[in-house]
Amino acid sequence: MKYLKHYLILAAILSVGFGLFWIFNYNRTAQIWITLILGVIYVIWGVVHHALRHEFHWQIIWEYLVVATLVSLVVTFLLIRA
């Protein structure tokens, strides 16, 4: 796979984020911040990844923004209600 390094970097970032989320399981505020930061990093990763692949289109970036926003909102609302 030509872009395996890109996906390994994303997997490492998400793994660290999930690990931090688990470590701070007692602190809802920290978990919300981790969720939001992971969402931002995910969008940045998507922009960089597609720019390096010469597939930079605004539709793709909007897709990353929508996915990151929806996931962040769902996790945040679930944490608030817990």
What distance in Å separates the CA atoms of residue 42 and residue 7, rounded to the nearest whole number? 11
Our count of domains for the chain comes to 1
Do 79 and 33 form a contact (C-beta atoms < 8 A)?
Answer: no
Query: Which pLDDT value is given to residue 82?
Result: 77
Query: Which pLDDT value is given to residue 18?
Result: 97
Q: In 1-82, which residue ranges form alpha helices assigned H by DSSP?
A: 4-23, 28-52, 58-81
Residue 52 lies in domain? 4-81
Nearest CA among 47, 21, 36, 31 for reference residue 71: 36
pTM confidence score: 0.91
Query: What pLDDT digit, counting tens, does each position of 43-56 carry?
Result: 999 999 999 999 98
Please list the ranges in the chain whose pLDDT falls under 50.
Answer: none
CA separation, residue 13 to residues 70, 78, 82 (Å): 19, 22, 25
